[in-house]
Chain A
């Protein structure tokens, strides 16, 4: 692996991403956790840019760092969370489900990393620079991948209805 600007940027972003993720889950105060999550989103956006996915990188900044973080801060204020010591740790079915899901994720990530070592995904596709632009994305999304595109709207409507139903209980 040659040492160029891109490799340097990737390694510094990756180190920063792992660092901010660890800081995020170990902070006592939920506000500090949220701020480290913002840093983590930022580094992820940089990594997207290195993968030639310009559109996703910008959307990561706009939607995740902007909108989703506002939501997280609202949730923190809504629940009036103090420091974490008040939350009890119990090994219930939630913890076990989370463990299984994270094992699944770890195996997927492990496969990707090791496949990279054996040369399967060793370099970025030549077309990547053309695919990552907003233009190419719009073209493929509304024609070739129109079914997933429509299904995304169902996912959004499920989110809308879920939010209204959950909050309505509190209104009344």
Chain B
């Protein structure tokens, strides 16, 4: 069974190897004549201001955490969508109802998010 993954492993090794070899080759073969100006951070031609590690607004975090939670919802639905057509009729109804309950519960969460204005960006 694992033999069927050999092409994938090959792609993985080649892509990782290609990246590693290219980065290191340019580092080894390229001439390095550094000076203070060259080593300074490139900030669209402006003088660099402050550090790169600024504090971010909590809104970004809000959007990403809500994205992940609904992403996991979709992960649960995906195997169901693949197998649904092959169910026998009785099981089909049962599984359909259980998925509907699942989605409705998460929709309550979605409306809660909208109502609270957690995704508002002003």
Q: In the complex, are the beta carbons of A154 and B105 less than 8 A apart?
A: yes
Counting chain B residues whose Cβ lies within 8 A of the other chain, the interface size class is 35 or more
Determine the chain A residues whose CB is within 8 A of the CB of B66 once the complex forms. 160, 163
Q: In the complex, are the beta carbons of B78 and A134 less than 8 A apart?
A: yes
CB contacts under 8 Å to A, within B21-69, are 53-56, 58-62, 64-69
Measured CA separation A159–B1 after assembly (Å): 38
Determine the chain B residues whose CB is within 8 A of the CB of A154 once the complex forms. 105
Q: In the complex, are the beta carbons of A134 and B109 less than 8 A apart?
A: no
A5-B3, A150-B105 known; A164 vs B113 contact (CB < 8 Å): yes
Determine the chain B residues whose CB is within 8 A of the CB of A146 once the complex forms. 94-95, 98
Interface centre among A62, A142, A154, A160 (most CB of B within 10 A): A142
Measured CA separation A170–B69 after assembly (Å): 20
Q: In the complex, are the beta carbons of A71 and B55 less than 8 A apart?
A: no
With an 8 A cutoff between CB atoms, is B75 at the interface? yes
Q: In the complex, are the beta carbons of A143 and B53 less than 8 A apart?
A: no
Determine the chain A residues whose CB is within 8 A of the CB of B98 once the complex forms. 142-143, 146, 149-150
With an 8 A cutoff between CB atoms, is B81 at the interface? yes
Q: Which of the segments A75-83, A84-92, A94-102, A105-113 contacts the partner chain?
A: A75-83
With an 8 A cutoff between CB atoms, is A48 at the interface? no
The residue on B at minimum CB distance from A137 is B79
Measured CA separation A171–B106 after assembly (Å): 24
Chain A interface residues (CB < 8 Å from chain B): 5-6, 9, 49-50, 52, 55, 59, 62-63, 67-68, 70-71, 74-75, 77-78, 80, 82, 129, 134-139, 141-143, 146, 149-150, 152-154, 156-157, 159-161, 163-164, 167-168, 170-171
Q: A63-B68, A139-B91, A146-B98 are in contact. List 20 more A-B contacts (CB 8 A).
A: A67-B64, A67-B67, A77-B53, A78-B56, A134-B78, A138-B84, A139-B86, A139-B95, A141-B80, A146-B94, A149-B76, A150-B105, A153-B101, A153-B103, A157-B106, A160-B113, A161-B112, A164-B113, A167-B62, A168-B118
- The 8 A-B pairs of least Cβ separation, nearest first, read A138-B79, A142-B95, A138-B83, A146-B98, A157-B109, A138-B80, A134-B79, A160-B109
